[in-house]
Amino acid sequence: MAGGQERVLRRRIRSVQSTRKITKAMELIAASQIPRSLARIIANRPYRLGMQRIVLDAALGDPAGAKKLLTLSEKIDTALVLVITGDRGLSGPYNNASLRAGERLVTKLKSEGTQVQLFCVGKKAAAFFRFRGLDVQESFAGFVDKPTYADAQEIARHLAGPFMSGEAQQVLLVSTRYLSAGSQAVRVEQLLPLVIPELPEPTEPEPLHGYTEFEPDVKKLLFFLMPRALESEIFSALLEGAASFHTSQQRAMAAATDNADELGQTLTRVMNRARQDSITTEIMEIVGGAEALRSGK
Amino acid sequence: MATLNVEILSPEAALWTGTASALMARSSEGNFTVLPEHTATVGDVVSSVVRVQTDEGEIAFAVHSGFFQVGKGLEPDTTLATVLASVAERTTEIDVARAQAAKDAAESRLAAATKGEDEELLAYAALERAELRLSAAAK
């Protein structure tokens, strides 16, 4: 029946249009969050770099001690894996990309005979890994849109404990790095032992760096420094994660809005044709009826 | 003449950067002052008031534990002193009423916490922060 089809189409168009309103609103909200989260990354940068400089200086001051603290032990029995995702979906590939990378990493570690303890940031990560039947040691959620430094400290506290006590030998991080507005990529990074790119061989004396004084002495300092450096790295990962989340969501919602526009247009055309068809049929029927009446006279 | 550039940084923001004549703070080994041409040093900063002396007067920050680094600046003949603090604020920006409320809350938390638990340490740290804020703001 022609009229029925038209009614069905009209209903679908309305539904597409109301979905479009939602996706458009989400796009605008996400877009408004992007500059704020970027500003936080930029504000954090001097601190993060300063922290890296201090760790480097301390490591150079005591290369032998640093080597013990900062190099990976030969045998890794237990690794802690921290996976950072968002609390909410509808954000394009953001959550899934780090979840897949996290899952791959866990499988790889397990196949090498390493015990894995999972730590999840964001509701999506905890739900995903629990559904897969993996033990989630600890999950943190509710702050990933706007992480504070206290959140990073809380996470760091849970990760540093097992590492300091020797229960775990490595702490790995799976998170999305904000490379630029156009590109965010999932990275697997080592948090502990701390990674220092330019750690020299302890056998080589470093005359240029030999004059740094330490207060308290360097061994103690490195010990104090490690948890703070861990917090700093986690915080920057949280900030970049938040920025990536908003960017990814904005892009996904913009695409969804475009799709809704296109779908609405197509449906409107189909509906117009259906309406035209039904009108034509109706006229034909009237004309046909009138013809029949006239010839029947 | 050698100049001293000072940066007071927290994870959320660079609190203050600029040229100063001296930086005074307290490490776990005692009070120290950094002047231009100070030797390269790395150390910790315990909860205390960090003071920066500039041409326009003294600027004070309540720093709740952190680290400092003194080294050569990027430009020739400059010394760069960096203070990194997980929590820090300018003493002029401290909200005394809020700090007092935080102190009271921390005291009751400390009283309720069982000995040796994380909670006790956290409450104690909160109390210490509040007390530092109050004493820094009073000066």
User: What's the pTM?
Assistant: 0.85
What number of C-beta contacts closer than 8 Å exist between A and B? 86
* Tokens encoding A209: 């760096």
Q: Is this complex scored with an ipTM above 0.85? A: no
Q: Between chains, do A44 and B12 touch, taking CB under 8 Å as contact?
A: yes
Number of domains in chain A: 2
Residues A205-261 have pLDDT tens digits of 444 445 678 878 887 888 888 888 899 999 999 999 999 999 999 999 999 999 999
Does the pLDDT at position B79 exceed 90?
no
Of the candidates B12, B32, B42, the beta carbon closest to that of A54 is on B42
Contact A274, A2 (CB under 8 A): yes
Amino acid at A294: R
- Average the pLDDT over B79-93 and give the result: 86
Q: Hey, is A147 helix, strand or coil? A: coil
- Cα torsion at A163, A143, A248, A47 (round to 10°)? -60
CA distance A208 to chain B (A): 11
The answer on A202 and A111 residing in a single domain is yes
Residues A119, A248 within the same domain: yes
B90-130 pLDDT, tens digit per residue, is 887 777 788 888 888 888 887 877 776 777 777 777 887 88
Whether residues A246 and A280 share a domain: the answer is no
Tell me the C-alpha distance between A5 and A8, whole Å. 5
Q: Using 50 as the pLDDT threshold, list the residues of chain A that sit under it.
A: 1, 200-209
**Which residue segment(s) compose the domain that A284 sits in?**
3-18+256-288
DSSP symbol at B76: T
Strands A170-180 and A78-84, sheet pairing: parallel
**In this structure, which topology does domain B3-92 adopt according to CATH?**
ATP Synthase; domain 1 (2.60.15)
Sign of CA dihedral A121, A122, A123, A126: negative
Lowest average pLDDT, out of A184-188, A217-221, B12-16, B77-81, goes to A217-221
Nearest chain A residue to B7 by CA: give it: A46
Check if B120 contacts A (Cβ < 8 Å): no
Architecture in CATH of B95-138: Up-down Bundle (1.20)
Structural contact between residues B5 and B18, judged by C-beta atoms closer than 8 angstroms: yes
- Indicate the residue of B40, B44, B69 with minimum beta-carbon distance to A211: B40
The CATH 1.20.5.440 portion of chain B extends over 95-138
Residues of B in contact with A215 (CB under 8 A): 27-29, 32, 41-44
Nearest CA distance, B3 vs chain A (angstrom): 19
- Distance, CA of A103 to CA of B130 (rounded, Å): 43
Using a pLDDT cut of 90, give the percent of chain B over it.
11
Does residue B88 carry a pLDDT above 60?
A: yes
Ordered DSSP codes for B16-72: EEEEESEEEEEETTEEEEE-TTPPPEEEEE-SEEEEEEETTEEEEEEE-SEEEEEEE
Asked, for residue A296, whether it belongs to a domain, the answer is: no
Calculate mean pLDDT across residues B5-9.
Answer: 91
Indicate which CATH number applies to the domain containing A178.
Answer: 3.40.1380.10
Does the pLDDT at position B135 exceed 80?
no
B11 CB neighbours in chain A (<8 A) are 44, 47-48, 149, 152, 231-232, 235
Strands across the sheet containing A183-192:
A136-140, A115-121, A78-84, A170-180, A183-192
What does the pLDDT look like over A58-75, one tens digit per residue?
A: 887 777 777 766 777 777
Query: Based on the domain organization, do A270 and A127 belong to the same domain?
Result: no
